[in-house]
Structure 1
Amino acid sequence: MAISCDPLLRHVLRDESLTRGLGDIEARMLIEWVTDWTELLADAARTEDDAWSCVRRLCRRGKAISRFVQLWTDPENRGAAGQLAAAERFAWPLPTRSIDPADLMHHILTWENQHPDS
């Protein structure tokens, strides 16, 4: 059964909370990542409810990644970023130093793509 991807993508693209507080580059990377996964999830879903459930979880993860990047780039909030990473059970390695937000987003999303079951 093919699930229509359009309503799912509209949901993602209308969700301003995914990119709120990010720079343009980081926001673009995150939206591309979420929309790519949305298309894959829609193709793999057995039912429309399954697809919506998966996309909602994906958006929640995207929002948490967005928040982590925002927190990490402010040295005073790195402790909060670490707490968020622990609470969200992020499995990717935490940065060990200051890093450009776009580079950080790229590293995180690359890791997420290489470890989709984490």
Structure 2
Amino acid sequence: MSSLLRCIKEIIRDYLSNEALSDLLYGSCTEGGLLLDDQMTCIPWGMVDIPAGLRQVEGKISLSVSREDRTAEGLPVLDAQPELERLTLREAPVVLRYGLQPGDRVAVCRSHGGRHYAIVQRL
């Protein structure tokens, strides 16, 4: 019986050493998900991990600047508009970092079995 167990362990060890437990793949971003170069179907975004550095970061900004606030460099917006005395923004939407856009090429790591994917880098 112990020789049978030894044989089974050797078979499993050999199988795992020959099996690629993850793959590095390349693909393109789409509206609906990730389209890998070697597949015809789109992987839904719910199955894909996106690193924080590749996510879009949006926010709001509020500021108020007047001619009296001007530094030695000047305020180009106020200098270009002589009739403008004060510039005020309240809760203006801004994009601090653009995320992945449709058509972006990415490198992707696939988990064993292909049930989950992680984007490694935008190319």
TM bracket (short chain): under 0.3
**Structure with more of its chain in strand, by fraction:** 2
State TM-score, norm by structure 1. Answer: 0.24
Higher relative contact order (CA 8 A, sep 6+): 2
State TM-score, norm by structure 2. Answer: 0.23
